[in-house]
Amino acid sequence: MKRFLTIMGVLCVLAWSAAVVTDGFSFTGGSYNTQSKSHIKAETGTFTALYSESVAGTTGTFTGLFHVFKDAGTTGIPTMEVGNSEVKFAALWSIYKEAGTCSDSGNGNAGAITLTPTSSYIEITCEDSDGCDVTMDESGLDVENHGIKVEVLNVSANDVNFPDSDGVCEVAAGGTVTISQWETAFLRYTGETWVASRDRLTLKAGTLSMSSGSIIDSSGSISFGDENLSTTGALHGKIEIIADDNSLSAAQCYGSLNKLNGAESTTLPAAVAGMNTMQYSDDATVKTIAPNGTDHIWLNGVDNGAGNSINSSGAVGDYIVLVAFSDGNWYSIGQSGTWIDTP
């Protein structure tokens, strides 16, 4: 009972106007004092100033910990049951909205705002196109406030971030919870720190199955990490077109085309089994493709040796497709023009 009332200090429930309060309550494990109408007596103690009522049975003004009441003369009374281990409210909950605005930093960095929740529901507006970083305030909170829950809805077009901060706001894997417009962040107070998460699906193990429909991400990027993705249907998508990069990263060698210009040498990343890339010559100059360190390039099935490069013929449209069949080994599986080993 004591924990429930502590939580409700943050959560303010507003319902209907005016009415007879005693008709709307049902208590288990405690008693309602109809004499003073000022407290609930439970097994663990007395809680005063629960509400105030100006005119009993007609109209009333209710202030304090929480408000639950009904219109006089109506049927289907909304009831609240307070038990030793649970609270039941047979009606819709309306939670008071708190609003917060994060101003533009004006310096090209993300804006900053500190949230000190006074309600369990916050709508936040970010005015900075670089996003907004939120710091959760713990002032006045301690172990007695364990379990408080706050929902934060982003109502603006700019992203709102909840970065990991040890002992203040914890995020899984030390990351950042980011919510775009109309997305919600969930925060729970542990008695020592806030913990942030968001309304996304996390599949720890097993199979995600869709009979129809789509997976859509408004940011334009969906990552499956190092997990396998399989389908019995068609898979459609673009390949990455790289504009003349002479030092390719590992991330650039999973289905890419590097469009090369000028007489130059391009270095591949360390070969990891499954990598693949096409090197394309956009002009009539010789292109040199070098492996990383002591990696091997197998040209037309022949090992050119550790660390040896290959050269194009110098014609427009020369290209070579390289696939890492195993760690440390690139294999040519298609080409245009004559490519040669350059030990």
227 located within any domain: no
Which residue in the block uniquely carries the two structure tokens 């504009």?
243
Look up the CATH number of the domain holding residue 178. Answer: 2.60.120
Edge to edge, the sheet with strand 240-243 lists: 240-243, 254-260, 276-281, 319-326, 329-336, 296-299, 302-306
- At 77 the pLDDT is 40
Q: Is residue 251 part of a domain?
A: yes
- β-bridge pairing 39-42 and 45-48: antiparallel
Token pair for 222:
């969906």
- φ and ψ at 73, to 5 degrees? 85, 0
252 and 331 co-located in one domain: yes
Report if residue 223 sits inside a domain. Answer: no
Q: Which of 198, 227, 250 is the last residue of a domain?
A: 198
CA atoms in the 13 A half-sphere facing the CB of 60: 23
Residue-level length of the chain: 343
Residues 248 and 325 grouped into a single domain: yes
Tell me, what's the pLDDT at 318? 95
Would you state the pLDDT for residue 203? Answer: 55
Residues 185 and 107 in one domain: yes
Range of the domain at 30: 2-89
- In a shared domain, residues 112 and 81: no
Distance CA 96, CA 8 (A): 12
Question: Which residues of the chain fall below pLDDT 70?
Answer: 1-93, 199-226
- 213 within domain boundaries: no
Question: What is residue 87's predicted lDDT score, i.e. its pLDDT?
Answer: 56
**Rounded (to 5) percent helix, strand, coil in the chain:** 5, 40, 55
Instruction: Give, for 40, the enclosing helix (H) or strand (E).
Output: strand 39-42
Same domain, 82 and 103: no
- Give me the number of domains the chain comprises: 3
Please give the pLDDT value at position 202: 55
Query: Last residue of some domain: 168, 198, 228?
Result: 198
Question: Is the Cβ–Cβ distance between 13 and 121 less than 8 Å?
Answer: no
Question: What do you get for the CA distance between the two ends of the chain, in Å?
Answer: 80
What pLDDT does 155 receive?
96
Structure tokens at 172: 């899984």
**Do 317 and 256 lie in a common domain?**
yes
Structure tokens at 290: 């070098």
Considering the domain architecture, whether residues 72 and 101 belong to the same structural domain is answered as: no
What pLDDT digit, counting tens, does each position of 146-163 carry?
889 999 999 999 999 999
Of 29, 63, 89, at which residue does a domain stop? Answer: 89
CA distance 208 to 202: 10
Q: What is the predicted pLDDT for the residue at 221?
A: 65
